[in-house]
Amino acid sequence: MSDILGYKGKRVIVSGCFSGMGEATAKLLLELGAEVHGFDFRPAALPLASFNTVDLRDPASIEAGVAAVGGKIDALFNCAGMAGGGAGSPMDVMKVNFIGTRHVTETVLPHMSAGGAIVSIASTGGLGWSRRIPVHMELLQTKGFQAALDWCDSHMDQVSEGYAFSKEAVIVWTQYMGAHLIKQGIRINCSLPSPTQTPMMAEFHATSGKDVVDAAAEPLGRYTTPAEQAGPLVLLCSDVAGVVNGVVLPVDGGFMGGLATGQIDISRMMSRK
């Protein structure tokens, strides 16, 4: 396979490599010749350069995982995630989807140099981010894992069930950090997947309702596959995307465009099971 994306011999970490989008991303990176190191709560079956059991709810676990990889890291793929709506406690959802993801990134950054790249998975479920930027900026000003937890604990009216707020936080954090990290030659971006057929889909159906999830799959009319989501993640951290930075990229089959032009029935998404 051509190395136009520039991954041959690059050392990369994929957090959430056990299944879904993370597994598909790790597979694609292996095909592209990258040296792939995986993090997950459950062991991956892929032929990785290394695998470390990492629990994003535990900062010590994160730090041990990054230390075990060691050396220079060229790219970080934050693919681990947790569904909300009662599938887990709001604080666990916040830990996995944002606080732990931020801690992984901050722990990896000292191992990166100019040319490094980071991408995280947000969600179209985080579209409310623009309405509460000041709130998210308060959270972003916290320093460290525990301080972020304390902030969330005192703002549960904002955190709510955890999922939407955590994905909004990833979006605002990505845009905020883009302006800072580019001074070091490091890029950070995130993607907004539409509903994707991963093992978490059953949880989304149970907590949000199938009608709500299906509404977010328009106008494509189907759920995307993990492989369809992996391609854009790999592209965002590749050499050909060298000045793509601070971008929130919809990977949604046209959902955002349809929403902006009034072609998506938003009332369906406001319903509940």
pLDDT category at 204 given cuts 50, 70, 90 is low
Q: Is 135 exposed, middle or buried (0-12, 13-18, 19+ CB in 10 A)?
A: middle
Flag whether 1 is in a domain.
no
pLDDT at 251 over 90: yes
Flag whether 122 is in a domain.
yes
- The CATH number assigned to the domain holding 119 equals 3.40.50.720
Flag whether 224 is in a domain.
yes
Flag whether 112 is in a domain.
yes
CA-to-CA distance for 177 and 175, rounded, in angstroms? Answer: 6
- Looking at the chain, the whole-number percentage of residues with pLDDT higher than 90 is 78
pLDDT at 270 over 60: no
pLDDT at 271 over 60: no
Cβ proximity of 240 and 6 under 8 Å: yes
- Return the top range by mean pLDDT from 28-32, 123-127, 260-264: 28-32
Flag whether 228 is in a domain.
yes
pLDDT category at 205 given cuts 50, 70, 90 is low
Flag whether 6 is in a domain.
no
pLDDT at 1 over 60: no
**Residue 199 pLDDT:** 63
Please state the pTM of the whole predicted model.
Answer: 0.93
pLDDT at 200 over 70: no
- Compute the average pLDDT of residues 171-196: 96
pLDDT at 272 over 50: no
Domain region containing 167: 11-269
**Residue 151 pLDDT:** 98
Flag whether 191 is in a domain.
yes
pLDDT at 217 over 60: yes
**Residue 41 pLDDT:** 94
- φ/ψ (deg, to 5) at 75: -155, 145
Q: Is 20 exposed, middle or buried (0-12, 13-18, 19+ CB in 10 A)?
A: buried
Tokens read off for 89: 């406690």
Segment among 5-19, 71-85, 166-180 with least mean pLDDT: 71-85
Number of domains, the chain: 1
pLDDT at 2 over 80: no
Flag whether 100 is in a domain.
yes
Higher per-residue confidence, 148 vs 259: 148
pLDDT in tens, 222-240: 889 999 999 999 999 999 9
